[in-house]
Structure 1
Amino acid sequence: MSPFNKTTKENRLWYRQPATRWEEALPIGNGRLGGMVYGGAADEQIQLNEDTLWSGFPRDTIQYSSQRHLKQTRELIMAGQYSEAEELLNREMLGRDVEAYQPMGHLKLQHAGLDKISYDEFERELNLNTGITTTKYSYEGTRYVREVYASAPDDLMVCTITADREGAVDVSVTLDSPHPYRVQTSGDALTLFSRCPSHVESNYFRDHPESVIYEEDRGTSYAVRLAATTKGKQAKISVIDGKLQVQGADQVTFYLAAVTSFESYDVMPVKEGALLEEECSDVITKAITHGPEVLRERHVKDHAALFSRVTIDLGSSANAELPTDERLIAYQTGANDPGLEALYFQYGRYLLMGSSRPGSQPANLQGIWNHQVEPPWHSDYTININTEMNYWPAEVCNLSECHEPLFGLLEDLSHTGRRTARILYGARGWTAHHNVDIWRTSTPTGGDASWAFWPMGGVWLTSHLWEHYLFTHDRQFLAERAYPIMKEAALFCLDWLVEGPDGYLVTAPSTSPENKFLTEEGEARSISMASTMDMTLIRELFDRCIDATKLLNVDQELANEWSEARSKLYPFRIGSEGQLQEWFKDFAESEPGHRHVSHLYGLYPGEQINRLHTPELTEAARVSLERRISQGGGHTGWSCAWLINLYARLLDSNLAHQFVRTLLARSTHPNLFDDHPPFQIDGNFGGTAGIAEMLLQSHLGEIHLLPTLPEQWAHGSVEGLRARGAYTVAIQWTEGRLASAEIKADLSGPVIIRSAYPLRVEGNEQATAQLTPQDDYVVILTMTAGQTIRVSS
């Protein structure tokens, strides 16, 4: 614990009224099981999710005619016939859409005898420190408290209602589902049985109606079981007409467990309902043996073990005592509130913990929280930015374990993607395109090439494997899990590259995700060759695979092959307006304010473009950003979050903070969910990563303290952030400049510390300090494993 760390301020969202819509409800989750708690008094509703509930089942999505059209498509591209190439690709090389993430149902609670309007002292909250939602209210002199949480250690949802008057708890609870369902009673418990659709055809941007198909023998089935225990001499539990009723209790605790028939991406989900019910019953029986107090204690301890690793204080706020929705409105109308920005940062960490834990599925477009059978964009894994953005905060924000589900998805995709690479393109290794679902679809989807055709999705995902290694230096992880997947993705890249203009190796067909350029004929097209995004990703993957072969002392011949190919890759180009080109030619942009800035990947999250080694490219990236933003870019929640990170890397504190402010003021719901619009969780995660990036950077082999500190955060501290190289960092600043920092090393080795201010190292006489050409101050020293040093300015 840092000696200068202040007591953690209360991290909570709170309101003076129940939620009236889903975007006002408060999320809980244990990685697998999620709920949206509305917090009503007379009537409570908890919308339920389980992370393996998706439409569909394992099926073959390969478009078998693709490979025979690949050569002709490439010939058309090389001849500059981009329209013809795109028309051919759209007609012959696309596939079918992925399946949709599904809602599970609702727990609905009615409080008998409570007038729906006449209650006093109402308050509902989500405490981020404990992961518990609480609703408090008084009625005719009796004080009621309801707590709801999703426990990771006991793998169920718990709802406890307590009254301060004996026998005052009279409630009834029901379960329902948006899918066809039945409710069965057994003893003093309810069990809901239901099944997901066998197919959901999303047409979110299309004119014809959406379709949902249910089949009796296909689709993932599931069971949700609800049981209760009570305290109080007069307490009674009964089950009548599908309702679980509690009367005369001092306290009641409801236990909700859910199990699905999903087993694996390649196994038909066929478990019988009786087995599902038995599994639910076993979970609840075990939980009841602990008792409500112990269950709560186990949950809080587990939650705090992750959440409390990082504390943050960005400064005092005049509106700190306001309810969260009122505080957000004040912020939207111009009030400064660094405390709200700190709360948003911690909320992002909370959401990642709630939607991604070891053993769970990865966080999807909505984390795990979805109430629609036909959710926007299928609530899938969109891997041309959104899934990756979900995990930007994982390592730096000290939630490395929460990264694990993404690695599991990568392992699965490396199997399904191997078949896709071979059959579609005649290539080695594995590939994945822009959409993935629980069945690990790796093929192009239907629609239009601008989004559907992008075989670099898997390449981008592999960057997370290397990032995890950089933050942890876990050699076993690199050898056994990361490098084998990276290697196969790099083999695909070798086979996917073809010789283009001037002997360079290029990708063809190539797109820059979801964006389009104008041909000489003025047509908006997306297919060409060697998009900057493609080249940046492949160059990065080759570099990292080469580094891995040296670290692991393997595959030297293959490393030589990657090195030779890397030297021939089409390079970055600067366009006529001084901007970084997005395509291999300086095409006019079809949509100058496009939401994606894929060509700037090398600036963030990559590092090929940086102020120390490539100042000209860095300036070109800045020009690209200015041009994009001047035309309305950054208008969606996640794209605004990306801008925070990009300007943090450019060390532009004013613009980085401006987009923090824009994200909260323009793209945030009352419950602080990101508003794309509609809700997408990536903006939350990208915003959290951006705030961390403003306070600490470590991508250039050094620890850069407060690189992008805005004037609005003049006084503050952060403790527990992680830096690449396996360091934990605490920083305190005052009057807009560094006061002191503590750095703890997990491993022994040299370290470089950079700051805008002169640095003094305490307790290390070997440290050397110097002023750099960038007018920064750098300290170079060697640390031993377990050592903590303190630097001050």
Structure 2
Amino acid sequence: MPKPYCDLHFKHTISRWDEAIPLGNGSLGALVWGPASSLRLSLDRADLWDTTPFPGISEPEFTYATMVRMARAGQEAEIRRIFDAPYNHPTPCKLPAGALILHLPSDRAVESRLSLTTATAALKTGDIKLEIFLHAEENVGICRVNLPHLEFQIENPQYGTTENRDAPPGSLKSLAYPPAEYGAGDGAVWFIQRTAGDAAYGVFASACSASDSTLLTFTVGSTRDGADWRERALDRLRFTLARSYSRTHGSHKQWWKRFWSRSSLTLPDKNLERNWYLTNYFLASCSRKGGYPMALQGVWTADDGNLPPWKGDYHHDLNTQLSYSHYCKANHMEEGESFVDYLWAMADCGRRFAKDFYGTEGLCMPAVMSIDGQPLGGWGMYALSPTNQIWLCQIMERHARYTADKTFWKERALPYLTETATCIAALLEERDGQLYLPISSSPEVHDDHIEAFLTPNSNYDLALMRWLFGRLSDESPRWRDIYGKLPQLALTETGVLKLSPDETLEESHRHHSNLMAICPLGLIDDQTEAGRRIIEANLLDLERRGPGLWCGYSYAWAAELYAMAHNGNAALRALRIFWKDFCSPNGFHLNGDYRHYGSSMLHYRPFTLEGNMEAAHALQEMLLQCKDGKIEAFPAVPEEWRDQKISFSNFRAEGGRLVSATYDKGIVTMTVEETDELGQI
């Protein structure tokens, strides 16, 4: 259970949406910020998208064969026209829902506190006090104010109109919709915003006043809820208002109590402890079993008049994979199952894309895609690289290992890996007895320039293929034969992993793609002297190139690399830099060193969540590592912690085992609970 010092607490009025108090229940999201006179709840809903496709996606030339031909011919401009240009189209994209604005009679600063324990925001301005939460199990928000009357309004996003399509790039006005239709009745107010085709959504709010307080409820409804979606939204508000506040809040708090009971930790560094709990709060706020997995911003779409950063999409060349990197060890399996269930549910989409784009049987998802699996285009060498699909396979396989669920492995994970292997195998070309992809890349080295097409196989592609076919080698002679024909990883004389057989990475780079074999794939055996030398050589090379062009998530990934090498000092330093220099006061990962601390040359601040989750994962790797059935507690303790006490409880290890351990001035005690599901996969 998070201690009170883990709470977010701001004594000043919050002036930016990406520094707001974040609330979420996996479906609905709210950001609470702004002055008392117009206190803003920026509302969101996870499945609120405009999925209108860009016409060019369906053109005959939008194929892997075309990209291979053009890459080999050096046709950079044509590659951009066909494969990158679709991403410049405003749709498909994630949509904001709108806002609920409270007009409080106060000119004082708004003090805000978010209780992580209860997922409840408490605000105070002068003598006015508010409590706000999004119910953990019901799609409704509740706000209680100690005022007998509350003035409020709802506001739709400032989209463009069908009559006026002129808008600056990235603006919400580039989305042309009919004007929102406002309505009121039976004590409620709402607006209905029609979007593309027959799709529509609305924000609904209703208040009930007593002698000394007002209870305000709100929700976001959508045509995804069924033909009677508006009536259902209004019924939800009426039901909530009819129930006592204490009962509603009580059931909400019970859900969060169960969530927090699944794992815990105590650290000497209270800021790291706080951020670990905050990251788990983000996970539960954005990802629930039965719902959609978190996209780039989860349930907190930008409220600044613009499309969300990178259209709020699903990026599979790092972002989704890092976003779901820590949940297994944190023992929040249901929240992680949102993603693995989604991958399985989207398998037919992957089969169609494998056939239509790659011209193969099997399964492969677009590496940059919409909520319904449409390719969005983008830098084609990454957005349409087939090997990113293998990284998704690793998520499925790891889930099977950490649950020890044989049924999941046999009926979902194994077929998913096998169908992916079918697609990848069909693309491989044999030369001199070895197998190569026709084109290769290493995200996102050389950006979108023709040089980004590296000599096959890049170590990124090769590591992923060696992991996949190696994992399947015992399942079929076919996969074992392919594994045997894959080249070895390309190394320099000193053991540094190259980009490709004929190129080394000579500059700082945000994506540690050439190091995939070390982490997260674990292909370099750190139990051997040769493996340890390779890992050490690559960490030295990482330091040689420096962090000048790193994003926040680069530091989080580096922390995991150091933790795997049992270098707790460097892992701790990287995590402190990440959370101090690259995160907003509310914990949001803003990618850039936006306050100019000197930790990167990138000074922008686009919000995405993967860095937070990867940082929590790296911290967990400092405390517990498991490989091939072996468990190691406290493998990367920093020097400054060695005369202090560290503990964690109910961390999940491979085989479904639950581990609790204490480190007290060098003395380690550990208990391992064998769960009912335990068994070899």
TM bucket by the smaller chain? Answer: 0.7 to 0.9
Which one of the candidate residues 419, 429, 432 is aligned to 1:498?
429
Specify the SS of the correspondent of 1:170: coil
Could you list the per-position Cα deviations for residues 671-722 of structure 1 after superposition, in whole angstroms to 9, with x for gaps in the alignment?
Answer: 1111203221111111111111110111332111001111233322111211
Shift in Å at residue 10 of structure 1? 4.5
Matches within 5 A, 1:628-777: 628-633=542-547, 635-677=550-592, 678-713=606-641, 714-735=644-665, 737-747=666-676
Change (3 A) 1:177 1:87: closer
Q: Deviation digits for residues 96-120 of structure 1, max 9, x if unmatched? A: 2262211111110112xx3313x7x
Q: In the aligned structure 2, how far is the partner of 1:684 from the partner of 1:7?
A: 17
Structure 2 match to 1:231: 210
TM-score of the two chains, using structure 2 as the length reference: 0.88
Q: Retained in 1: the 8 A contact 2:386–2:424?
A: no
Instruction: Give the SS at the match of 2:347.
Output: helix
Report the count of equivalent residues.
638
| Contact 1:508-1:528 at 8 Å conserved across structures | no
Matched ranges for 1:475-490 at <5 A: 475-490=406-421
Partner of 1:392: 325
Q: 1:699 to 1:610 in 2, by over 3 A?
A: same
Matches within 5 A, 1:377-776: 377-441=310-374, 443=375, 445-446=377-378, 448-500=379-431, 502-516=432-446, 524-546=451-473, 549=475, 559-583=476-500, 585-589=501-505, 592-613=507-528, 615-633=529-547, 635-677=550-592, 678-713=606-641, 714-735=644-665, 737-747=666-676
**Secondary structure of 2:377 counterpart:** coil
1:84 aligns with 2:74: yes
Q: Using the alignment, how far apart are the partners of 2:54 and 2:73 within structure 1?
A: 32
Deviations 1:540-593 (A, max 9, x none): 22233455x4xxxxxxxxx1111111111121121145311221x13144x611
Say whether residues 1:49 and 2:26 are aligned partners. Answer: no
Unaligned runs of 5+ in 1: 1-5, 163-167, 199-217, 233-249, 264-270, 316-337, 550-558, 752-793
Shift of 1:152: 2.5
1:109 aligns with 2:102: yes
SS in 1 for 2:94: coil
Structure 1 equivalent of residue 172 of structure 2: none
Residue number among 27, 36, 41 corresponding to 1:32 in the alignment: 27
Q: Is the 8 A contact 1:154 1:295 kept in 2?
A: no
Given the two structures, how large is their TM-score scaled by the length of structure 1? 0.76
Relative distance call for 1:449 and 1:628 in structure 2 (3 A) is farther
Contact 1:54 / 1:220 at 8 angstroms: preserved in 2? no
Q: What letter matches 1:573 in structure 2? A: A
The 1:146/1:496 distance shift into structure 2, 3 A limit, reads same
The one-letter code of the counterpart of 2:568 is S
Is the aligned partner of 1:310 residue 2:263?
Answer: yes
Moved more, 470-479 or 280-289: 280-289
Alignment-derived partner of residue 136 in structure 1: 124
In the alignment, the residues of structure 2 paired with residue 632 and residue 227 of structure 1 have an alpha-carbon distance, to the nearest angstrom, of 54
Whether the 8 Å contact between 2:526 and 2:535 is mirrored in structure 1 is no
- In structure 2, the partner of 1:787 is none
Preserved CA contact (<8 Å) 1:314 1:717: yes
CA gap of 1:57–1:92, structure 2 versus 1, over 3 A, is closer
Q: Find the aligned partners of 1:732 and 1:596 in 2 and give their Cα distance.
A: 34
Alpha-carbon distance in 1 for matches of 2:353, 2:448: 30
Distance 1:620 1:525 in 2: 25
Q: CA deviation at 1:403?
A: 1.2
Distance in 2 of aligned mates of 1:499 and 1:85? 25
| C-alpha displacement of 1:397 | 0.8
Q: Distance in 2 between matches of 1:67 and 1:115?
A: 59
Give the secondary structure class of the aligned counterpart of 2:658. Answer: strand
Letter matched to residue 280 of structure 2:
R
CA contact (8 A) 1:69 1:92 kept: no
* 1:359 counterpart residue number: 290
Using the TM superposition, give the Cα deviation of residue 539 of structure 1 relative to its aligned residue in structure 2, in angstroms.
2.0
Query: What secondary structure, in the 3-state scheme, does the structure 2 residue paired with 1:395 have?
Result: coil
> Displacement of 1:622 after TM fit?
3.4
Give deviations 1:614-650, integer Å, cap 9, x for gaps.
x434433433343334333372111111111111111
The worse-fitting range, judged by mean Cα deviation, of 454-463 and 641-650 is 454-463
CA 59–603 in structure 1, closer or farther in 2 if over 3 Å, else same: same
Check whether the contact 1:396–1:721 (CA below 8 A) recurs between aligned residues. Answer: yes
The answer to whether the Cα contact below 8 Å between 1:66 and 1:425 also exists between their aligned partners in 2 is no
How many Å separate the matches in 2 of 1:43 and 1:12?
A: 24
What's the CA shift for 1:297? 0.5
CA RMSD, 1 decimal: 2.7
Partner letter of residue 430 of structure 1?
Answer: L
Give the unaligned 5+ runs of structure 2.
160-178, 593-605
Q: Which amino acid aligns with 2:100?
A: L
The alpha-carbon distance between structure 1 residues 517 and 578, as it changes in their structure 2 partners (threshold 3 A), is: farther
Q: Please point out which of 225, 248, 264 is paired with 1:295.
A: 248
Secondary structure of the residue aligned to 1:352 is helix
1:84 aligned partner, one-letter code: G
1:127 aligns with 115
Aligned-pair CA distance for 1:276? 2.5
For 2:631 and 2:64, locate their aligned partners in 1 and report how far apart those are by CA, in whole Å: 50
3-state SS, counterpart of residue 484 of structure 1: helix
- Given that 2:588 and 2:609 are in contact with CA atoms closer than 8 Å, whether structure 1 keeps it comes out as yes
Given candidates 213, 221, 224, the residue that maps to 1:259 is 221
SS at match of 1:515: coil
Measure how far apart 1:374 and its partner are.
Answer: 1.4
| Alpha-carbon offset, residue 49 of structure 1 | 0.3
Secondary structure of the residue aligned to 2:573 is helix
Higher strand content, 1 or 2: 1
Distance between the aligned counterparts of 2:191 and 2:472, measured in 1?
A: 49
Aligned mates of 1:38, 1:410 — CA distance in 2: 34
> What's the counterpart of residue 191 of structure 1?
190
Counterpart amino acid of 2:189? Answer: L
The 2-side partners of 1:68 and 1:455 are apart by: 9
1:71–1:675 CA distance, 2 compared to 1 (3 A): closer
Q: Which residue does the alignment assign to 1:235?
A: none
Identity over aligned pairs, percent = 25
Q: Deviations over 1:70-122 (max 9, x none)?
A: 5973xx98xxxx562766755666672262211111110112xx3313x7xx6
- The structure having more radius of gyration, on CA atoms, is 1
Task: Summarize the Cα distance change of 1:380–1:72 in structure 2 as closer, same or farther, 3 Å threshold.
Answer: closer
Displacement of 1:161 = 1.4
| 2:218 partner amino acid | L
